[in-house]
Amino acid sequence: MRLLRKGLLIVTVIVLAACNQSDELNHPGVEQVTTPAYGDTFIEASIGDASTLLPVLASDSASSSINGLVYNGLIRYNKNLQIEGELAESWDIAEDNLTITFHLRRDVRWHDGEPLTAADVQFTYNLYIDPATPTAYAEAFKQVTRVEVPDPYTFVVHYDKPYAPALISWATAIHPRHLLEGQDITKSPLSRHPIGTGPYKFSEWVGGEKIVLEANPDYFEGQPYIKRVVYRIIPDVSTQFLELQTGSLDFMGLSPLQFDRQTDTPAFRRLYNKYRYLNFGYTYLGYNLKRPLFQDKRVRQALSYAIDKQELIDGVLLGYGAIATGPYKPDTWVYNGNVQRYPYNPEKSRELLAAAGWEDSNANGILDKDGVELAFTIVTNQGNDLRSKTGEIIQRRFREIGVDVKLRIIEWATFLKEFINPGNFDATILGWTGGPEPDQYNIWHSSKTGPRELNFIGFKNAEVDQLLEDGRRVFDEQQRKIYYDRFQEILAEEQPYTFLYVGEALPAVSRRFRGVEPAPAGIRYNFTHWFVPKAEQKYSR
Partner 1 sequence: MLRYIIRRLVLLVPLLIGITLISFVVIHLAPGEPTDLQTQMNPQASSELQERLRVQYGLDQPLYVQYGRWLGRLIQLDFGESFATDRRPVLDKIFERLPVTILLNVLSIVFILAIAVPLGVVSAIRRNSGFDRATTILVFTGFAMPSFWLALLLMDWFGVRLGVLPVSGLKSLGYEYLSWGAQLLDRISHLILPVFVSAIGGVAGFSRYMRSNMLEVIRQDYILTARAKGLAERTVIYKHALRNALLPVITILGLSVPGLIGGSVIFETIFAIPGMGKLFYDGVMMRDYPLIMGILVIGAVLTLLGNLLADISYALADPRIRHTQQANRSQ
* Residue 186 makes contact with partner 1 by CB under 8 A: yes
In the bound state with partner 1, the residue whose beta carbon lies nearer, of 233 and 257, is 233
> Could you count the other beta carbons within 10 Å of the beta carbon of residue 328?
24
Out of 32, 33, 96, 246, the residue judged to bind partner 1 by CB under 8 A:
246
* Residue 192 makes contact with partner 1 by CB under 8 A: yes
* Residue 245 makes contact with partner 1 by CB under 8 A: yes
Site residues for partner 1, 119-138, by CB under 8 A, read 131, 134-138
Closest CA to 530 of 200, 110, 206, 260: 200
* Residue 355 makes contact with partner 1 by CB under 8 A: no
Whole-number minimum distance, CB 454 to partner 1, in Å?
Answer: 6
Whole-number minimum distance, CB 469 to partner 1, in Å?
Answer: 16
3-state SS class at 268? helix
Closest CA to 46 of 194, 271, 280, 236: 236
Out of 43, 118, 307, 367, the residue judged to bind partner 1 by CB under 8 A:
43
* Residue 191 makes contact with partner 1 by CB under 8 A: yes
d(CA 479, CA 486): 12
3-state SS class at 443? helix
Site residues for partner 1, 451-470, by CB under 8 A, read 452-454
Neighbour-count burial of 370, counting CB atoms closer than 10 A to its CB (0-12 exposed, 13-18 middle, 19+ buried)? exposed
Q: How far is CA 535 from CA 39, 126, 217, 379, 540, in A?
A: 11, 49, 22, 54, 11
Q: What are phi and psi of 45, to 5 degrees?
A: -110, 150
* Residue 178 makes contact with partner 1 by CB under 8 A: no
In the bound state with partner 1, the residue whose beta carbon lies nearer, of 22 and 133, is 133
* Residue 269 makes contact with partner 1 by CB under 8 A: no
In the bound state with partner 1, the residue whose beta carbon lies nearer, of 135 and 528, is 135
In the bound state with partner 1, the residue whose beta carbon lies nearer, of 299 and 443, is 443
Identify which range of 245-253, 320-328, 360-368, 389-397 contacts partner 1 by CB under 8 A: 245-253
Out of 30, 363, 413, 462, the residue judged to bind partner 1 by CB under 8 A:
413
Out of 221, 308, 331, 418, the residue judged to bind partner 1 by CB under 8 A:
418
In the bound state with partner 1, the residue whose beta carbon lies nearer, of 136 and 355, is 136
d(CA 275, CA 14): 11
d(CA 210, CA 43): 10
Helix, strand, coil shares of the chain as percentages rounded to 5?
35, 20, 45
Report how many residues bind partner 1 under the rule CB under 8 A. 56
Residues whose CB is less than 8 angstroms from the CB of residue 15 and which lie 6 or more positions away in sequence, other chains included = 65, 68, 522, 524, 525
DSSP string, 223-242: --SS-EEEEEE---HHHHHH
Looking at residue 19, its amino acid is C
In the bound state with partner 1, the residue whose beta carbon lies nearer, of 317 and 420, is 420
Site residues for partner 1, 426-455, by CB under 8 A, read 442-443, 450, 452-454
* Contact indicator for 55, 173 with CB cutoff of 8 Å: yes
Out of 93, 233, 339, 407, the residue judged to bind partner 1 by CB under 8 A:
233
Question: What's the sign of the alpha-carbon dihedral 483, 485, 489, 492?
Answer: positive
List residues binding partner 1 (CB under 8 A): 1-3, 41, 43, 48-49, 51-52, 57-60, 63, 131, 134-140, 186-187, 191-192, 207-209, 230, 232-236, 238-239, 242-243, 245-246, 248, 412-414, 416-418, 442-443, 450, 452-454, 539, 541
